[in-house]
């Protein structure tokens, strides 16, 4: 199996649990596989599919993803196909012929089709070796993606009695698991449950501020990378996308109110790295199979811990470090409570309230957030310091809260225990709010005595006091604060109180270089950039997402091992037989010319760590170094042509163009208008781009009769998306921000 793993997928070892599952499947046993997103579930049936004699049938709920899944398999040289309603009768006939001839090893079908009697008849004429049921939680009404057709999949047993069934899901809840086992009729299945921890994700909760400055700096760390910002309403997604666009980010809104066609286009641009940021409602979800989402933000509170886990889970499927940021405000909490109070059904309302309480607990936690979430999902987690959440990375400190607590309690008493936290805090901070003045609370002795404390600090403190049992919240319509007997005792006896608070917010240097388990060490960041630009150019020409060419992990391994020959290239993780043949040449060319430019020896040792001299080695978790792009931007801004810049830098013109695209898309000033073809040529290209989609470029190239180069087309396309500013060079020169910091270099 290890040999097949390398040949077909390019990997040298199994991920945890894959080997056991595959062993069981090969032995003909039914299997139930629970692994988190990114755990490597697909391989559990794809590899057996290559080893078994007949066909592997894959039931998959998302028609929109089937083509991508099949494309990705074909890129690895695996004979796969799908059958769904998007095909013409002709295409369908062709697929059926390939299936009958035994050429196809993996067939993707939607559940509704599988249960049609005609399809069952068709299946009975085939040699089906294995049935895989992906996203198996769709069988459960308790899950969030129930599909009635899944209920009838148990019938497949009668149609293919000899084939083992493997059911896979990333859903962690107990009730859904039980449903899957009972509904799918698995026969004494081997059950494989791996940890739901996602070691490469970092979790943090940040107080929500009134402006976007905090969010902008988070996004700034991820310039040019894919990010999802979850917002609580359709309107909020649109406001967010607009606010970000005005501040120079490329962002779009996504919600269920958009036309299906528009939603598809937005998803597509996201997957193809044209729109890095999507501000979305939770409607943006299951169809997002993008492995390199580096940031998931919850700008409003998630509905439950499960949805938080699910939504943050869309970050970092490729196993590389990614960030999850949750914005919390007490105002947001009140808004949710307001909506919950509208729910008519008593039991339903109670459940919603419970779910919200759990989310609030997660937010106000001072211990490990990962531990909280995993334990909520039913997984025992002994580790106290996960090194990957804000509370573990930035511990809280104990402090003597006696004085400030006395002030807060006094303010509650002096205002008559008839007001909520917002009012009391306003009084403490000396606010000139209308209600405070009207009540004459500006005349109280407690007015303004805590002016040096921020609103959020005092909010946190009030929460602490509730937890300590010093204040209680009224039962009536408004959540008024009152001091409890325990609180009065505290004041009367002049007790002292120690509480904990976050150590002053200053980014700890060591949090950035955190190593993920299984990290393989340093790689050459400059080379990585070249390889990424090449990948981008090839992906654009073929009209497929960049990650289908090679994943980021594979590019990193290439930049680490620096293969110089096909034999060395095949040793890179993620390079199987098909990709070696298909892509080895351009990537080896790129590596060899980079090596020459940097004066590295002709033949690589196969490991850059032993041979590097002037190498800029990067921490594996660091973003690709912007240095090489910056250099290209500087040269191009000097007014030279692509070819001249290429000669100066010892790179290909295509790579130079790739740099410019990345710079322009990241909003970094670069003077490139002079590279555009002359007006007439430009107009001709624009006309075709107007009619045809601008991705892939091959149809555009062909429509233009081959008279215009890919470079020209790419430049015109770039200008359509990001019109260059002409003649602004001199005015901008002095105040150009440092592009390095804008590339989001960490640390
Ligand atoms: P899931 O379906 O569980 O979310 P995937 O099947 O998409 O996970 O796999 C996640 C990532 O891990 C993919 O990029 C895949 O190529 C990679 N992967 C799978 N198996 C291995 C392996 N044995 N070694 C290295 N990478 C792997
Ligand atoms: Zn932690």
pLDDT at residue number 11: 95
SS3 for 45-78, per residue?
HHHHHHHCCCEEEEECCCHHHHHHHHHHHHHCCC
pLDDT at residue number 178: 87
pLDDT at residue number 726: 59
Distance, CA of 360 to CA of 378 (rounded, Å) = 19
Please name which ligand lies nearest the alpha carbon of 17.
Answer: 1
- Dmax over CA atoms of the chain, in Å, equals 90
Reference 594, options 665, 675, 532, 660; nearest CA is 532
- C-beta separation of 717 from 664 below 8 A: no
Other CB atoms within 10 Å distance of the CB of residue 515: 13
More reliable by pLDDT, 143 or 334: 334
DSSP 8-state symbol, 12 = S
| Residue minimizing CA distance to atom 23 of ligand 1 | 14
394 Cα: distance to centroid of ligand 2 (angstroms): 10
pLDDT at residue number 368: 93
Average pLDDT over residues 192-199: 92
For the CA of 41, the closest atom of ligand 1 is 3
Residue position matching structure tokens 């390199």: 292
pLDDT at residue number 625: 43
| Residue minimizing CA distance to atom 17 of ligand 1 | 40
For the CA of 42, the closest atom of ligand 1 is 6
pLDDT at residue number 225: 92
Please name which ligand lies nearest the alpha carbon of 369.
Answer: 2
More reliable by pLDDT, 230 or 217: 230
- Burial (CB < 10 A; 0-12, 13-18, 19+), residue 296, is buried
Query: Does ligand 1 come within 6 angstroms of the Cβ of 35?
Result: yes
| The pLDDT of residue 504 is above 70 | no
Average pLDDT over residues 271-286: 90
Q: If you write DSSP's letter for every residue of 347-379 in order, what string do you get?
A: HHHHHHHHHHHHHHHHHH--S-HHHHHHHHTT-
Query: Does ligand 1 come within 6 angstroms of the Cβ of 42?
Result: yes
pLDDT tens-digit map of 19-68? 999 999 999 999 999 999 889 999 999 999 999 999 999 999 988 889 88
pLDDT at residue number 338: 87
Average pLDDT over residues 707-722: 88
Reference 325, options 255, 464, 414, 222; nearest CA is 222
pTM here is 0.71
pLDDT category, 82, cuts 50, 70, 90?
A: very high
**Which one of 1, 43, 549 would you pick to mutate in the ligand 1 pocket, going by the greatest count of ligand atoms within 8 A of its CB?**
43
pLDDT tens-digit map of 621-636? 223 345 677 788 888 9
pLDDT at residue number 739: 40
Distance, CA of 306 to CA of 304 (rounded, Å) = 5
More reliable by pLDDT, 108 or 711: 108
Q: How far is CA 361 from the centre of its chain?
A: 24
């Amino acid at each position: 199996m290890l040999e097949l793993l390398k040949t077909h997928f390019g990997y040298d070892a199994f991920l945890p649990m894959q080997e056991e599952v595959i062993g069981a499947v090969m032995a003909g046993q039914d299997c139930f596989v629970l692994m988190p997103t990114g755990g490597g579930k697909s391989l559990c049936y794809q590899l057996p599919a290559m080893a078994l004699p007949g066909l592997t049938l894959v039931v998959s709920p998302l028609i929109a993803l089937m083509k991508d899944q099949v494309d990705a398999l074909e890129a690895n040289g695996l004979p796969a196909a799908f059958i769904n309603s998007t095909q013409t009768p002709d295409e369908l006939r062709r697929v059926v012929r390939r299936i009958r001839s035994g050429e196809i090893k993996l067939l993707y079908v939607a559940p509704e089709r599988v249960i049609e009697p005609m399809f069952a008849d068709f299946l009975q004429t085939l040699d089906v070796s294995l049935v895989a049921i992906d996203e198996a939680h769709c069988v459960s009404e308790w899950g969030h993606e129930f599909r009635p057709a899944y209920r009838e999949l148990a019938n497949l047993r009668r149609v293919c009695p000899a084939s083992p069934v493997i059911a896979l899901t990333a859903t962690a809840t107990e009730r859904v698991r039980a449903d899957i086992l009972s509904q799918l009729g698995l026969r004494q299945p081997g059950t494989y449950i791996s940890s739901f921890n996602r070691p490469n994700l970092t979790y943090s909760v940040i107080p929500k501020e009134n402006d976007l400055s905090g969010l902008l700096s988070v996004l700034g760390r991820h310039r040019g990378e894919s990010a999802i910002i979850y917002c609580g309403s359709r309107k909020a997604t649109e406001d967010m996308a607009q606010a970000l666009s005005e501040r120079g980010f490329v962002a779009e809104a996504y919600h269920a109110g958009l036309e299906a066609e528009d939603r598809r286009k937005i998803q597509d641009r996201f997957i193809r790295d044209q729109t890095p940021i999507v501000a979305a409602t939770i409607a943006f979800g299951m169809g997002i199979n993008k492995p390199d989402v580096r940031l998931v933000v919850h700008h409003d509170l998630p509905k439950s811990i499960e949805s938080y886990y699910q939504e943050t889970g869309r970050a970092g499927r490729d196993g590389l470090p990614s960030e999850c940021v949750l914005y919390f405000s007490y105002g947001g909490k009140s808004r949710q409570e307001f909506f919950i109070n509208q729910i008519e059904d008593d039991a339903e309302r109670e459940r919603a309230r419970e779910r919200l309480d759990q989310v609030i607990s997660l937010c106000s936690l001072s211990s490990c957030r990962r531990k909280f979430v995993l334990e909520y999902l039913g997984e025992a987690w002994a580790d106290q310091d996960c090194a990957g959440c804000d509370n573990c990375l930035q511990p809280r400190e104990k402090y003597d809260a006696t004085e400030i607590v006395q002030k807060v309690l006094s303010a509650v008493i002096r205002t008559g225990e008839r007001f909520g936290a917002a009012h009391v805090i306003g009084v403490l901070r000396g606010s000139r709010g209308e209600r405070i003045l009207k009540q004459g609370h500006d005349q109280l002795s407690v007015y303004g005595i805590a002016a040096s404390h921020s609103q959020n600090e005092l909010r946190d403190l009030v929460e602490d006091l509730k937890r300590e049992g010093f204040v209680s919240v009224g039962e009536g319509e408004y959540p008024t604060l009152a001091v409890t007997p325990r609180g009065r005792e505290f004041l009367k006896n002049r007790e002292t109180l120690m509480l904990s608070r976050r150590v002053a917010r200053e980014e700890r240097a060591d949090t950035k270089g955190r190593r993920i388990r299984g990290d393989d060490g340093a790689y050459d960041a400059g080379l990585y950039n070249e390889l990424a630009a090449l990948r981008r150019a090839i992906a654009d020409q073929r009209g497929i997402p960049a990650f289908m060419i090679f994943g980021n992990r594979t590019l990193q391994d290439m930049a680490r091992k620096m293969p110089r020959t096909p034999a060395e290239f095949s040793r890179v993780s993620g390079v199987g037989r098909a990709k070696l043949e298909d892509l080895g040449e351009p990537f080896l060319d790129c590596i060899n010319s980079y090596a020459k430019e940097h004066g590295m020896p002709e033949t690589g040792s196969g490991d850059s760590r032993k041979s590097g001299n002037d190498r800029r080695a990067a921490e594996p978790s660091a973003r690709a170094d912007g240095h090489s792009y910056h250099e290209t931007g500087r040269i191009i801004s000097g007014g030279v042509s692509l070819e001249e810049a290429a000669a100066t830098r010892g790179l290909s013109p295509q790579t130079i163009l790739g740099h410019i695209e990345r710079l322009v898309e990241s909003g970094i000033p670069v003077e490139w208008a002079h590279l555009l073809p002359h007006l007439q040529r430009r107009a001709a290209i624009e006309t075709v781009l107007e009619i045809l989609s601008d991705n892939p470029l091959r149809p555009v190239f062909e429509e233009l009769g081959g008279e215009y180069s890919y470079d020209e087309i790419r430049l015109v396309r770039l200008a359509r998306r990001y019109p260059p500013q002409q003649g602004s060079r001199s005015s901008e020169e002095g105040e150009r921000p440092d592009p390095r910091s804008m590339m989001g270099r960490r640390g």
